[in-house]
Structure 1
Amino acid sequence: MTDNLVHLLPDAIANQIAAGEVIQRPASVVKELVENAIDAGASEISLIVKDAGKTLIQVIDNGCGMSETDARMSLERHATSKLSTAADLFTLRTMGFRGEALASIVAISQLEMKTRRATDELGTRLVVEASEITVQEPVAAPPGTSMAVRNLFFNVPARRNFLKSDSVELRHVRDEYIRIALAHATVRFDLHVNDRLDLSLPAGNLRQRITAVFGKKYRDLLVPIEEATDVLSIGGYVGKPEAARKTKVGQFFFINDRYIRSSYLHHAVTTAYDDLLGKDAYPFYVIFLEIDPARIDVNVHPTKQEIKFEDERLIYNYLKATIRHGLGRASIMPTIDFESDNPFSPSRTSGAPPPVISETGEALPSKMNSDTPRTESRRHASNLRNWEMLYDDLGMEVDTDTGEILQSRMGREEAEDTPPTQGRAPYQLHHRYIVSAIKGGWLLIDQQSAHERILYENFLANLRDKPAVTQQSLFPQTIDLAHSDAGLMTSLLPDLNKMGFDLEAFGGGSFIVRGIPAELAGHNSELDLLEKLLEQYKQNIDLQSEGHERLARVLARTAAIKRGTPLDEAEMRSLIDRLFACNQSRLAPNGRKCYIKYVVEEVERLFLS
């Protein structure tokens, strides 16, 4: 028996440990294989995916190919053609360099490689399973390389169990593929999903690539930016304010053509927009920074999506100034009157004053933004009338000069909480809440939460085979979606049509909208409604909840009347009646209260305490 406890791990175990860091899901395999194809000088790359990558991920390229020796050596851990010395880490221009990817992939999958150099008559075919090469033979193959990864995590069942649903994993695959496609617009990319061509991106320029990925509407929403200094070069496109979204999608940074994440640089972009965007609105951008590799460190994280800069603050300021300059050239930034005592005063800038943004991120009507004395006077008068109505609805008389309650006409025994379907007319407070009298007090109803509850139960009923009524549009409209959104919309089509939409896929990321649920007929824009639905759904797609419930909840939240929306008496009465006809009237689908009950007796005690 020996006392020595430290020993070297077998290669198979070491490779599986490395795989846990490098290969987290099918999208990780896609990233590594497609980046290898880019490094091989490919001008055409095809990605074939089955079952969201769990069954098959195949990348075919027309790059330089490999010799028989190189093909076998590429599967070894830390085998790479991109580094020779430690100093090479600071001159990197390739996507990969560690030599971990292929070794990690073959440790947890069944891989078939076919590769041939243009100068060779025959290529090489290798079949590898769990790091063991089972077949090595010559093969007739076109120049380039084909990598087919089958049954990912077949020998690591615990890791396979952590994978999400096919729709979630496929979304990650598409996202990874699109990032690489944006970074290399001169390369042709094709994506096949379950034996169907899902996305075809011909070689072109960056503007064409962005339009092909995100839809034709972006053609007129892109603002070019360009700046070159001794430290770095900045190029690409930022979106006009109308291209902004409510979620963090459509935001891409590339350093030396490598996609990165950087909240610090993102802050520089949003700051450059100044007051052009509303609250919780995120700008669209595809920005490329070229910088001396010696000034950055990409060897920070296995995914290589985090980078350390030698001087972050300098890059921050250059980026911010470049974007402002680009927006100014596009006549988007407001002009400034430098002869004014306060050139930054809104009244001194050209055009209309900036809108006030509501909690929902929407601009309120300009008439609600005025702070003139005349408007203030009208506001105070309106508030006084509302307080008179409030006390009147509660059965009280009040001295409007002193605010003193003169008499209570409600018996204290009538404090029962009953649906407020009868009695005096309800009214709004601040266009957010509805006040409605009940016996012994009143209810303060959150109009948005109440409407979400109503819509949620209606949509669930529609999905459970209760026929939905569709309001047909006078003129059908076409919506063009980004590729990833189009895939999600296609998967949701059957359920959306059950819920009352009349939607049909038109090909190429386009959909025809012929009608929407009659419940939503008053919505301003069918296209805006669907785009917001997709954004909300993507934010909640990873939640562990039943699909129908999630879709109903998201659509209800998207379509419900928002706080700040004026309602007339008929609309308020209808909302109240329908709320108390729900199976669950107290809580919205997100758990927020739909109403709060106030009892006169409790209010009186507050004044005496």
Structure 2
Amino acid sequence: MADIIQLLPDHVANQIAAGEVVQRPASVVKELMENAIDAGATTIKLIIKDAGKTLVQVIDDGKGMSVTDARLSFERHATSKIRSADDLFQLHTKGFRGEALASIAAIAHVELKTKQEQEDVGTCIEIEGSNFVAQEVVVTPKGTSIAVKNLFFNIPARRNFLKSNTVELRHVIDEFHRVVLAHPNISFSFFNNGSNIFNLPTSNYRQRIVNIFGAKTNEKLVPVEEDTEVLKISGFVGKPEFAKKTRGEQYFFVNDRFIKSAYLNHAISSAFDGLLKGGTHPSYFLNLTVNPQTIDINIHPTKTEIKFDDEHTLYALLRSAVKHSLGQFNIAPVLDFDRDSTLDTPYNYKANGVSSPKVEVDKSFNPFKDSTNLGGNHPRTFKTQIPNNWDGLYVGLESKGNDFQKDFDEVQFESEESTVSLFDDDKQLDQTYTTHQIHNKYIVSTIKSGMLVMDQHRAHQRVLYEEFLQNMTVNKAASQQLLFPLYLHFTPQELVLIKQLQTDLEHTGFVFSNILNESVEIIGVPVSVPESEVSIILEQLISDVENEVPDSHFSATDLLAKSMAKSLAIKTGQSLEKDEQEHLVNRLFACKEPNVSPTNRKTFITMSVDELDKKFI
């Protein structure tokens, strides 16, 4: 029998390895920026085109590479940071596997320019799909410039899996945030299609956060500081009143490396226990410094997950540190028996003496002056003043009473104004089915064949979705003007999305009077939208646009209608009156697609009498 196991060719092995390292343009951004930081750069410039699909370029002023190092850096598992396996537990750098540049070069066109400070000229290397095309001497400033062009040019199937430019740009910005927040001592700039998105000078940690997320962020931050033998914590958490519906502003850094940890995230959430509204998540920007020997970074291809030796201790310290900061800055309620300051003696009266009140008595007062004392133990009787014309007080009373009764009989009551009811009373009387609400989540109704069980939240989403979609595509929805303008603050990236969706939002009933650099002024909202829900709706909409993949078959109008329906639909746990239950059932079955919600999930199920009978067999 012939042998069937074969060694893979190098170019195939490189493409397979690239699948672990490079998933999208944001992966390239992460690897190249981390290499620039490891090179000791003080200024790093990121340039992308078409959300990184056409170009990702990182320029730094680091130490650069020699001719040999420049060529060797594209070989698999070539690195300057590891000499033995023990070095994996003493890591103080970003990249250490030596596979990033090799994997990127296998699936893109790469141009590298690098020069060391003591050299007069640098080196330029061009690679296309792991094949060295050219290597020559070039005049270039100190440092390194790597340009990655036409990502996945030789793997069309992988390129088809990339999302729209809006979604891919969101991922690139997320990776950029994760790198720049960990290194406020380095200056960064970010250009997308020729426009400058970020220009971040060297600063302290608080100023770096404010420069990224807007000036309004400064008032939302609560400092957290804790230094122990096991763990050092520094950074900021957001005040509870500014908690968001999404988890966007949550950053953990362990030894200046961004990580994801559901376990440590739970520690933060438990510290905020009782301070957050339902469905909201706190913001935090926390740096954790631990001994490198107590962590293992090499457990995930993207190096965003870390294994800790003693997670329980870190959990307890992190929770206590955040809880202490919230209490220290009077964010969380504490047990305090301070007296009310309004009961204190005013300052001007503290030196005055206390004067006793005087009680004066009228010694000549005699309550029995007009009474007759019969003496002994007999009770006293008092004179009563009886008017002489007492019998004239009742004259004419009978006739007045008759007139009053007569007048009262002639009173005409104003009939109440008849108003149009939302529900047809006659139709309701004719209906033979009734509705019941179970656990404030499901609505049960009888039908001819058995019964119907409807999810109230999904059903209302379907109703609102079709209503909003009709308003945006067929006619313009009604808008209610606000008495006072509503000012909402967003980051510059979020404002770009709002400007893109402004026309569709106006068709639903929103009226924007002004869109500034960091805020939006709204003077009108849709009739069905409470003023308090506007910020929640826009935050949810921005999150959906960034994360729900609006590809070519997805229209912005459709996405907007879905997002608003999700925000405004009746929530699980909300009690409904009988009329509201029946009205929701009727409105659902008046929809074009009543069977599923806007996210293609069932809105109701039916159960026949036969199925019910089988349950009792």
Shift of 1:195: 2.0
Q: Is the 8 A contact 2:164 2:551 kept in 1?
A: no
Give per-residue Cα distances to partners, 1:38-82, cap 9 Å, x unaligned.
111222222122122111111112222222222222112222222
Does the residue aligned with 1:14 lie in a helix, a strand or coil?
helix
**Percentage of matched positions with identical amino acids:** 48
Taking the aligned partners of 2:457 and 2:263, their CA distance within structure 1 comes to 35
Q: Which structure 2 residues correspond to residues 203-602 of structure 1 after superposition, within 5 A? A: 203-336=202-335, 421-423=424-426, 449=458, 451-482=460-491, 484-503=493-512, 506=515, 508-520=517-529, 522-538=530-546, 540-541=548-549, 546-547=554-555, 548-562=557-571, 582-584=591-593, 588-590=597-599
Shift of 1:275: 2.3
Relative to structure 1, the CA distance from residue 509 to residue 153 in structure 2 (aligned partners, 3 Å threshold; closer, same or farther) is: farther
Deviates more, 1:113-122 or 1:4-13: 4-13
Deviates more, 1:128-137 or 1:571-580: 571-580
Does the residue aligned with 1:524 lie in a helix, a strand or coil?
helix
Correspondence for 2:393: none
Relative to structure 1, the CA distance from residue 508 to residue 110 in structure 2 (aligned partners, 3 Å threshold; closer, same or farther) is: farther
Correspondence for 1:20: 19
Q: CA RMSD in A?
A: 3.9
Q: Which structure 2 residues correspond to residues 120-159 of structure 1 after superposition, within 5 A? A: 120-159=119-158
Does the residue aligned with 2:532 lie in a helix, a strand or coil?
coil
Taking the aligned partners of 1:505 and 1:76, their CA distance within structure 2 comes to 54
Taking the aligned partners of 1:251 and 1:527, their CA distance within structure 2 comes to 19
Q: Is the 8 A contact 1:420 1:436 kept in 2?
A: no
Q: Is the 8 A contact 2:457 2:571 kept in 1?
A: yes
Taking the aligned partners of 2:83 and 2:600, their CA distance within structure 1 comes to 58
The total of aligned residue pairs comes to: 524
Shift of 1:154: 0.7
Taking the aligned partners of 1:176 and 1:555, their CA distance within structure 2 comes to 28
Matched AA of 2:489 = D
TM-score, normalised to structure 1, is 0.75
Correspondence for 1:392: none
Shift of 1:537: 4.9
Deviates more, 1:500-509 or 1:510-519: 500-509
Correspondence for 1:176: 175
Relative to structure 1, the CA distance from residue 591 to residue 107 in structure 2 (aligned partners, 3 Å threshold; closer, same or farther) is: closer
Taking the aligned partners of 1:72 and 1:440, their CA distance within structure 2 comes to 75
| 1:93 maps onto 2:92 in alignment | yes
Shift of 1:517: 3.0
Deviates more, 1:138-147 or 1:173-182: 138-147
Give per-residue Cα distances to partners, 1:205-230, cap 9 Å, x unaligned.
22122223233332122111111122
Taking the aligned partners of 2:440 and 2:290, their CA distance within structure 1 comes to 52
Shift of 1:428: 10
Deviates more, 1:274-283 or 1:550-559: 274-283
Deviates more, 1:88-97 or 1:522-531: 522-531
Give per-residue Cα distances to partners, 1:535-568, cap 9 Å, x unaligned.
4555644799733433311211213354666889
Give per-residue Cα distances to partners, 1:230-263, cap 9 Å, x unaligned.
2221111112212322333221111100011111
Relative to structure 1, the CA distance from residue 253 to residue 542 in structure 2 (aligned partners, 3 Å threshold; closer, same or farther) is: farther
Taking the aligned partners of 2:110 and 2:140, their CA distance within structure 1 comes to 17
Q: Is the 8 A contact 1:199 1:483 kept in 2?
A: no
Q: Is the 8 A contact 1:261 1:305 kept in 2?
A: yes
Correspondence for 1:377: none
Deviates more, 1:314-323 or 1:25-34: 314-323
Give per-residue Cα distances to partners, 1:318-362, cap 9 Å, x unaligned.
212211211121122332379xxxxxxxxxxxxxxxxxxxxxxxx
Taking the aligned partners of 2:531 and 2:457, their CA distance within structure 1 comes to 14
Does the residue aligned with 1:146 lie in a helix, a strand or coil?
strand
Structure 2 residue ranges without an equivalent (≥5): 338-421
Relative to structure 1, the CA distance from residue 543 to residue 124 in structure 2 (aligned partners, 3 Å threshold; closer, same or farther) is: closer
TM-score, normalised to structure 2, is 0.74
Structure 1 residue ranges without an equivalent (≥5): 339-418
Q: Is the 8 A contact 1:421 1:576 kept in 2?
A: no
Taking the aligned partners of 2:4 and 2:584, their CA distance within structure 1 comes to 72
Taking the aligned partners of 1:254 and 1:112, their CA distance within structure 2 comes to 31
Relative to structure 1, the CA distance from residue 311 to residue 441 in structure 2 (aligned partners, 3 Å threshold; closer, same or farther) is: closer
Please identify the structure whose Cα radius of gyration is greater.
2
Shift of 1:200: 2.6
Taking the aligned partners of 1:511 and 1:118, their CA distance within structure 2 comes to 48
| 1:195 maps onto 2:194 in alignment | yes
Does the residue aligned with 2:64 lie in a helix, a strand or coil?
coil
